[in-house]
Amino acid sequence: MEALPLDGVVVADFSRVLAGPYATMLLADLGATVIKVERPGSGDDTRSWGPPWTESSSAYFESVNRGKRSIALDLSDPEDREAARELVRRADVLVENFKAGSLAQYGLDFESAHEINPGLIYTSISGFGSKEGAELPGYDFVVQALGGLMSITGEPERPPVKVGVAVVDVLTGKDAALGIMAALRHRETTGQGQHVEVNLMSSLLGSLANQMSSLLTTGSAPQRMGNQHPSIAPYETLRCEDAFLAVAIGNDAQFRTLCEALGLMSMADDPDFATNAQRVAHREDMVSRLEGVLGARPAADWQQRLQGVGVACGQVNDLARAVDHAESLGLRPLIDPGGGAAKQVRMPIDFSGHGSAAVTAPPLLGEHDKEVLAWLQDPEQQLFPISARRNSQ
Helix residue ranges per DSSP H, 191-282:
200-206, 209-218, 252-262, 265-269, 276-281
Reference 25, options 366, 347, 248, 381; nearest CA is: 347
- Residue ranges per structural domain of the chain: 10-209+337-377, 244-315
Contact 15, 103 (CB under 8 A): no
The predicted pLDDT at position 390 comes to 35
Estimate the share of the chain in helix, then strand, then coil, as percent rounded to the nearest 5: 40, 15, 45
- Mark whether 169 is an active-site residue: yes
Do the beta carbons of residue 337 and residue 359 sit within 8 Å? yes
Pairing of strands 68-72, 93-96: unpaired
What's the Cα-to-Cα distance from 261 to each of 57, 244, 297, 301, rounded to whole Å? 50, 18, 13, 12
Contacts of 226 (CB under 8 A, 6+ apart): 154, 155, 156, 236
3-class DSSP assignment, residue 207? coil
CATH architecture of the region 10-209+337-377: 3-Layer(aba) Sandwich (3.40)
CATH fold of 244-315: formyl-coa transferase, domain 3 (3.30.1540)
pTM above 0.85, yes or no: yes
Helical (H) or strand (E) element with 376? helix 369-377
pLDDT at 388: 36
Question: What is the distance of C-alpha 265 from the center of its chain?
Answer: 42
Nearest-angstrom CA–CA distance, 209 and 320: 29
**Mean pLDDT per 10-residue run, the chain (393 residues)?**
85 98 97 97 95 92 95 97 97 96 95 97 96 93 97 95 97 98 97 97 97 96 94 96 97 97 95 96 97 97 97 96 96 87 90 79 95 90 59 33
The answer to whether the CB of 234 falls within 8 A of the CB of 254 is no
Q: Are strands 235-239 and 244-248 parallel, antiparallel or unpaired?
A: antiparallel
pLDDT of residue 326: 96
What pLDDT does 382 receive?
78
Bridge partners of 313, per DSSP, are: 247
Query: What is the side-by-side strand order in the sheet with 235-239?
Result: 235-239, 244-248, 312-315
- SS3 (DSSP) at 3: coil
Taking residue 128's Cβ as centre, other Cβ atoms within 10 Å add up to: 21
Of 29, 44, 109, 169, the active-site residue reads: 169
Residue 173 is predicted with a pLDDT of 98
Whole-angstrom distance, CA of residue 197 vs CA of residue 180: 10
Contacts for 220-228: CB closer than 8 Å, 24+ residues apart: 221/148, 221/151, 222/151, 222/152, 223/151, 223/152, 223/156, 224/151, 224/152, 224/153, 224/154, 224/155, 224/156, 224/158, 224/160, 225/152, 225/156, 226/154, 226/155, 226/156, 228/283
Strands (DSSP E) found in 15-153:
33-38, 68-72, 93-96, 121-126
